[in-house]
Amino acid sequence: MTSEQTRYLVNGEKTDSISVTDRGLQFGDGVFETIRIHQGKPVWWQQHINRLLDGCHRLRFADLPDVDTLQQEVTALASDCVAGVLKIIITRGYSNSGYVAPVNTPANRILSLTPGIRHQSRAGQGIVMGVCSQRLAGHDSLSGIKHLNRLEQVLARIQCQAEGWDEGIMLDDQGTVIEGSMSNLFVWREDHLFTPSLQKTGIKGLCRKIIISLAEENGITLEKTKLRLEDLTNSSGIFVTNSLIGIWPVINFNQQQLTVCANTRLLQESLEGSICSAD
């Protein structure tokens, strides 16, 4: 795949349009996954699909996406893509009945594939990170679901852009550190690694889960715990992660210079090996 143009499939058809009655457009009534493509294949496919289906179940979708159909459509889009970004959106379908969910309306599938992975140089160079003023609300029933209501993250990214940050930390209403605007967070204290526990809000990213396993494999002590801003200020290193960016080391947090420790580089190498070997 050499063209820079994004490809789309909507319910299996080559189009970038959908009806204005779609409930994802009207109410944010849907879920999504953003997946890295490596050598024509979706990285960590089964884990992404499991989370997508779990989100549909928790949102009480009557019609669940067929995994075989999704697999076929992803193959049609991505088989000739060396590196790219695949996004899958599942909405509850079409409706003109307000908030009331239709009973027999099939879900809508929206797939897009964009070639290339942006900002890969930041994995080596490191990033600048600040603290976003937008807080994350706690929603026990929605916690961990990658649903289409992302206004908190949109407002946080607007601030990041205005401030010139690559990423911004988001807190909950109690001032607890939760995650980045588009990433999960890890903090070093000497050779010990810490990450927010994410019990009431935030996304337990797939890359976060894999890094936790890689830390164990490499003999690194890791703890999921409650973090405050002072824990970041007093840390010996910070990095953020998601399925697309891998690991981005933080070299400047809140105007404080940080170094990139050897164990961060070790985890970067281990993660890249996991990406290259993923089915």
179 is catalytic: yes
34 is catalytic: yes
Among residues 91, 146, 176, 201, the one annotated as catalytic is 146
SS3 of residue 126 by DSSP: coil
Paired residues of 252 in beta bridges: 128, 257
With both helix axes pointing from N to C terminus, report the angle between 45-58 and 67-78 in degrees, rounded to the nearest 10. 130
- Asked whether the beta carbons of 271 and 36 are under 8 A apart, the reply is no
**What Rg do the C-alpha atoms of the chain give, in angstroms?**
19
Distance CA(97)–CA(95), nearest Å, equals 6
146 is catalytic: yes
Length of the chain: 279
SS3 of residue 162 by DSSP: helix
Name the residue with tokens 């496919």: 45
Which tokens belong to 101?
Answer: 């969910």
Q: Residue 2, class by beta-carbon neighbours within 10 Å (0-12 exposed, 13-18 middle, 19+ buried)?
A: exposed
Distance CA(171)–CA(201), nearest Å, equals 10
Distance CA(78)–CA(85), nearest Å, equals 9
Percentages helix, strand, coil for the chain (3-state, rounded to 5) are 30, 30, 40
Among residues 6, 34, 105, 114, the one annotated as catalytic is 34
Nearest to 86 by CA among 55, 59, 128, 49: 49
Among residues 33, 91, 167, 179, the one annotated as catalytic is 179
Distance CA(229)–CA(37), nearest Å, equals 34
**Residues involved in catalysis:** 34, 146, 179
